[in-house]
């Protein structure tokens, strides 16, 4: 099968080509993001392979379907970028990679917590300048603190286990109780209670209409003064403007972001020679207690290998007319467990 791969970076090419060896599939790599304007590149390709910041709204999907595409394969877990109802209406099959390495994201979230708490990002820069002073680098022990995990699916459950290993009291908020977490001693509480009690809050729920701006001004006001917020889920789960206000007032003590609501304009590209036009992102970058990375929590060898193998298996199953195990359906419970 011929597959148009959008938003290609060298690492995508390396892993997808290795996984596709001997499969007979013809992969055509495009650096461009998939948008309504670039969808013409996929004309005549039965399948497209897209990533988190590619567009798959109704207009783009209509253009793809009109060009003969029948499979939209997302090389990611979250498919909030795809209009699933429009895809179904147009007869497009949507596939994703539900669990390529939840460890990659969980370990990274904990990495952000440790880096922020102990100011490792600032220490790195200081020491390179020959400044070995410790003033301003005072941290706190995670041991004995309360950590709140929002969303205890595949990733959140691993985060809970790691934080339990650090000696944290772990609280959780989810629509469903994960028995693995309760067995660990994690206590499920309401969101307000979690926010009020936690020294560290880490977000691992999918982006759905329910979680859109879940961490807004009201939620931030409920948080323990000086607490840490870490978001490796999707940018829109927090209200960034409200978070900036909370940082300015000191209400929020630390912020770690691997995702940002307007990230598609910046992430995965080099802007080091350009002026950042997004004033919200630019403001966030000025805080000493904010650590931002460009959506790299998934970025491990193991994860990229699993993603590529799952994608190629989906191409083959689709070509052979077999049911896709990783097919995504729009409703009714699509955005809940297992659909992020």
Provide the binding-site residues for ligand NAD, judged by CB under 6 A. Answer: 77-78, 102, 105, 150-156, 173-176, 204-208, 210-211, 232-234, 258-259, 295, 297-298, 336-338, 340
Taking the complex as a whole, the smallest distance from the CB of residue 165 to ligand NAD amounts, in Å, to 18
- The residue whose Cβ lies closest to ligand NAD is 153
Taking the complex as a whole, the smallest distance from the CB of residue 139 to ligand NAD amounts, in Å, to 24
Residue 295 is among the residues annotated as catalytic for this protein = yes
Taking the complex as a whole, the smallest distance from the CB of residue 82 to ligand NAD amounts, in Å, to 12
Taking the complex as a whole, the smallest distance from the CB of residue 90 to ligand NAD amounts, in Å, to 24
Q: Whose Cβ is closer to ligand NAD: residue 206's or residue 256's? A: 206
Residue 89 is among the residues annotated as catalytic for this protein = no
Taking the complex as a whole, the smallest distance from the CB of residue 92 to ligand NAD amounts, in Å, to 21
Catalytic residue among 236, 261, 263, 339: 263
Here the tokens at position 172 are 């959780």
Instruction: Count Cβ neighbours within 10 Å for each residue of 11-31 and write b for 16 or more, e otherwise.
Output: ebeebbeebbeeeebebebbe
Catalytic residue among 25, 96, 204, 295: 295
Q: Cα dihedral sign for 294, 283, 287, 222?
A: negative
- Distance separating alpha carbons of residues 99 and 220, to the nearest angstrom: 30
Residue 309 is among the residues annotated as catalytic for this protein = no
Q: Whose Cβ is closer to ligand NAD: residue 186's or residue 259's? A: 259
Q: Whose Cβ is closer to ligand NAD: residue 34's or residue 232's? A: 232
Q: Whose Cβ is closer to ligand NAD: residue 258's or residue 264's? A: 258
Tell me if the bond preceding 21 is cis, omega within 30° of 0.
no
Active site members:
234, 263, 295
């Amino acid at each position: 099968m011929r597959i148009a791969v959008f938003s290609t970076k060298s690492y995508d090419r390396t892993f997808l080509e290795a996984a596709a060896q001997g499969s007979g599939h013809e992969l055509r790599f495009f650096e461009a993001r998939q948008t309504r304007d670039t969808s013409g590149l996929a004309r005549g390709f039965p399948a497209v392979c897209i990533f988190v910041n590619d567009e798959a709204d109704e207009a783009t999907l209509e253009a793809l379907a009109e060009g003969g595409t029948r499979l939209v394969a997302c090389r990611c877990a979250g498919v909030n970028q795809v209009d699933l109802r429009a895809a179904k209406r147009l007869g497009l099959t949507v596939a994703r990679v539900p669990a390529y390495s939840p460890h990659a994201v969980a370990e990274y979230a904990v990495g952000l917590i440790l880096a922020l708490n102990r100011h490792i990002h600032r220490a790195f820069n200081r020491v390179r300048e020959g400044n070995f002073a410790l003033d301003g680098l005072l941290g706190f022990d995670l041991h004995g603190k309360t950590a709140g995990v929002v969303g205890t699916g595949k990733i959140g459950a691993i985060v809970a286990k790691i934080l339990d290993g650090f000696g944290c009291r772990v609280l959780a908020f989810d629509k469903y109780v994960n028995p693995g977490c309760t067995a660990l001693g994690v206590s499920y509480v309401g969101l307000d209670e979690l926010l009020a009690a936690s020294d560290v809050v880490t977000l691992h729920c999918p982006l759905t209409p329910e979680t859109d701006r879940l961490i807004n001004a009201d939620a931030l006001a409920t948080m323990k003064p000086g607490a840490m917020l870490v978001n490796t889920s999707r940018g829109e789960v927090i209200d960034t403007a409200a978070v900036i206000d909370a940082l300015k007032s000191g209400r929020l003590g630390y912020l770690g972001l691997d995702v940002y609501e307007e990230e598609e304009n910046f992430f995965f590209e080099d802007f080091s020679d350009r002026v950042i036009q997004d004033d919200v992102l630019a403001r966030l970058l000025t805080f000493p207690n904010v650590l931002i990375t460009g959506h790299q929590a998934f970025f491990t060898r193991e994860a990229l290998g699993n993603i590529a193998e799952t994608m190629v298996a989906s191409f083959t199953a689709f070509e052979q007319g077999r049911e896709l195990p990783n097919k995504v359906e729009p409703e009714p419970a699509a955005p809940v467990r297992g659909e992020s």
